[in-house]
Amino acid sequence: MSEQYPFVLVVMGLPGSGKTFLAKRLAPVLNAVHISSDRVRKQEQRLGWYTSSDKQWIYQEMLVQATKLLQQEKSVVLDGTFHRRTYRQLVKDFAAIHRWPLFFVEMTAGEETIHQRVTKPRPDSEADYPVYQLLKQQYEPLQLPHLPLDSSRQSVEEMLGAVENYLTQ
């Protein structure tokens, strides 16, 4: 585990990539609090709100929640697609201003795995296969240092271990 507390860990990826699955399991292992874009959207009664400005608002609200926790010396795991550079820049600027260590984990999965996941109802997400396809077209490659993980090829134990190793480098 990282010796620097508190820290911000962004678990990002397209719908069905396994980001929420991993983020939920990571948070207790890292003694961190999980903040999900989907949960924030539900809490704030913004289901179905997916314009660029809506997404920007959700990410900013995630950072408001994160600030309160980080100021209490609690680390956070931010879980969302973060498919645009501008959304990732929000987090990068946020962490830099406060001098909180920032880490990115980029989740991927094979096309068949994603299709299987997003065609079934999921309690944590409204995203279906057409939404996945749209976000895949809009996705801007992550050009920041990060840990890439493939949830269709790695077990949860392997991914948890990889993240713990990444945070201690």
Number of structural domains, the chain?
1
Higher pLDDT, 135 or 56: 135
CATH of the domain at 160: 3.40.50.300
Q: Considering the domain boundaries, does residue 126 fall inside one? A: yes
Confirm whether 1 is domain-assigned: no
Euclidean distance between CA atoms 109 and 41, whole angstroms: 24
pLDDT at 160 over 50: yes
Q: Tell me the Ramachandran region of residue 155: left when phi exceeds 0, alpha when psi lies from -120 to 50, beta otherwise.
A: beta
Residue-level pLDDT at 79: 95
CA distance 34 to 121: 21
Mean pLDDT, range 151-165, rounded to an integer: 96
pLDDT above 80 (res 3): no
Q: What does the block give as tokens for 133?
A: 């396809």
Strands across the sheet with 102-108, in order? Answer: 32-36, 75-80, 8-13, 102-108, 147-150
Assess if residue 3 is contained within a domain: no
Structural domain of 12: 8-168
Tell which residue, 95, 127, 134, has the closest CA to residue 20: 127
Distance CA 58, CA 38 (A): 9
In a domain, 2, yes or no: no
d(CA 96, CA 8): 11
Higher-confidence residue: 37 or 145? Answer: 145
Residue bearing tokens 């984990």 = 105
Please give the mean pLDDT across all residues of the chain: 88
With a pLDDT cut of 90, the percent of the chain lying above it is 69
Q: Examine the pLDDT at 14 and tell me if it is beyond 70.
A: yes
- Pick the more confident residue, 107 or 129: 107
